[in-house]
Structure 1
Amino acid sequence: MAGKERNIKVVIDDVKKTYQGRTGEVVALNGVNLEIAENEFVTVVGPSGCGKSTLLNIIAGLLEPTSGRVVCNGVEVKGTGMDRGVVFQQYALFPWLTVKKNVMFPLNMKGIKGKEAEEAAMKYIRMVDLEKFCDHYPKELSGGMKQRVAIARAYAAEPEILLMDEPFGALDAQTRTQLQQDLLDTWEREQKTCFFITHDVDEALILGQRVIIMSARPGRIKDIVDIDIPYPRNQETKMSARFLELKNYIWGQVYQEYLEVRK
């Protein structure tokens, strides 16, 4: 984002999150500060238990910080809101609704009904290349297709900020690779502020403009790496010298934190 005027969409201001464990207070996050610009794609990596999902849930308004605050679009987050869309690893589709009606659901919640909602839903269904499956039910879809529906539904809500918590984590390698490319292509067409959590350094690098590296618990931001690899990107990008250089650096930082967890 260097060299461009930044319109800040998300401000994470000295966020701390604690909870009560079996043996006392557990500090999940401590002193997290971050700004995310409009239409920026930020990815987050770190060892298991470092608070990545906790941070996403605080931004989403699903959890309250113990101290500090999150501001989205200039307003302090006090709960969930239509300005933030969330895609989880679990597909969270309504099994009794077709693909089309699943994607129409957030539109209906915003008061958009009938043909207008249907046409808008079909735009996003076509975006994820599922037009032929618009009348299918979730049980009739593969895991990758279900996650594409979840992404289409999140986009259909027209949130200003898209929060994604390991959305491809449960998928096989081939499907995961294809969905990474689909998401890249979609983001380039439908510019959106994205906050994407992953355990996969390759995934973080291929998608993100910046990679946030989190420390072992208590989670804090250890490093922020600007990814100076131009878009459009594809799977061949992973073979470039710069990609491999960045991958080795980020993996080394994450592995150091993994060793801290094992102590």
Structure 2
Amino acid sequence: MAGEERDLTNRDDSRPVRVKVDNVKKIYNTRNGEMVALNGVTLDIHDNEFICVVGPSGCGKSTLLNIIAGLLEPTSGAVYCNGKEVKGTGTDRGVVFQQYALFPWLTVKKNVMFALEMRGIKGKQAEEEAMKYLEMVQLEKFAEHYPKELSGGMKQRVAIARAYAAEPEVLLMDEPFGALDAQTRTQLQTELLETWQREKKTCFFITHDVEEAIILAQTVIIMSARPGRIRDIVKIDIPYPRTQETKMTKEFMELKNEIWSQVYQEYLEVRK
């Protein structure tokens, strides 16, 4: 329903709740006065759930992710991770941004080792563990390279490996493939799904791409135009593993039309 707030806590899901977003509101003070970015968002994110969030630019997707990450404070309401209120960043949540956020002065291996050292793993053990995570993203042969020597897709793989090396319970991803070419994006989508199914992380993934949301997620959240609210929740019942051939199926196309039509209506609201 357009403009109607939806509550994901009503979903029939027997898995434990990993993250609870409780009536979160976020107001920014701008030169033109107050701007409400989020207005009463409530949802539960379950253990090992893959959620994708879509919506028009400015609907508060990244604001919501940053509040869950502890990088922003809500104006009102609260976020809980494993039952504890989020008060800043924490090792239980890992973040991967569209910008690769790698340390340019460190090699690929040492970028991943940084996350391990934050967990207290050092020396030879950290090196061995870092190589395991680089193997996971098929970059073990580039361990001694520097970020400037890598392509965009390879840099993002390093960022994902480093995020996993931190062993967060929740992986927050803000359009991590948005700046990549179509072929690289498709490849990383496949690799991310394989890693998620193997590692059993809870994933909260923001994207502008409806096809990407459907190919990855168990649940797609559609955000309304500013002020950001949950407009609709769409369950994706397409079984895994999903491939690029999945996009050709009738079920996929129907879901794409259903979600895109709602996103487009919100886009029109932004333009008014």
Question: How would you bin the TM-score normalised by the shorter chain?
Answer: over 0.9
Identity of aligned residues (%): 79
Report the CA distance between 1:166 and its aligned residue: 0.3
Question: What is the 5 A alignment of 1:40-51?
Answer: 40-51=49-60
Letter in 2 for 1:47: P
For residues 130 and 24 of structure 1, what CA distance do their matches in structure 2 show?
48
Matched, 1:153 2:162: yes
Q: How does 1:71-150 map to 2 (within 5 A)?
A: 71-150=80-159
Q: Distance in 1 between matches of 2:132 and 2:47?
A: 23
Kindly tell me the number of residue pairs found equivalent between the two proteins: 263
Cα offsets for 1:72-91 (capped at 9, x unmatched): 01100000000000000000
TM-score, normalization by structure 1: 0.98
Structure 2 gap segments, 5+ residues each: 1-7
Q: Map Cα deviations across residues 151-189 of structure 1 (whole Å, 9 max, x no partner).
A: 000000000000000000011111111111110111111
Superposed displacement of residue 4, structure 1 = 5.4
Q: Does structure 1 residue 68 correspond to structure 2 residue 66?
A: no
Distance in 2 between residues matched to 1:93 and 1:25, nearest whole Å: 34
SS of corresponding position for 2:38: strand
Divergent runs of 4+, >6 A: none
Tell me how large the CA RMSD over aligned residues is. Answer: 1.1
Among 232, 240, 243, the alignment partner of 2:252 is 243
Equivalent residue, structure 2, for 1:218 = 227
Distance in 1 between residues matched to 2:146 and 2:193, nearest whole Å: 26
TM-score normalized by the length of structure 2: 0.95
Q: Which runs of 5+ in 1 are unaligned?
A: none
Q: Does 1:231 align with 2:247?
A: no
Match of 2:192 among 146, 170, 183: 183
CA–CA separation in structure 2 for the residues paired with 1:47 and 1:174 = 24
2:227 & 2:43 partners in 1: Cα distance?
A: 16
2:172 is aligned with 1:168: no
Among 32, 36, 40, the residue aligned to 1:27: 36
How far 1:5 moved relative to its partner?
2.0
The residue identity in structure 1 corresponding to 2:164 is Y
**1:177-228 CA distances to partner (integer Å, 9 max, x unpaired)?**
1111110111111110000000000000000000000000000000000000
What CA distance in whole angstroms lies between the structure 2 residues aligned with 1:221 and 1:90? 26
Name 1:55's counterpart in structure 2: 64
1:253 is matched with: 262
Q: Which amino acid in structure 2 is aligned with residue 118 of structure 1?
A: E
| Mean CA deviation greater in 3-12 or 154-163 | 3-12
Secondary structure (helix, strand or coil) at the match of 1:163 reads strand
How far residue 3 of structure 1 moved from its aligned partner, in angstroms, is 6.7
State the match for 2:5 in structure 1: none
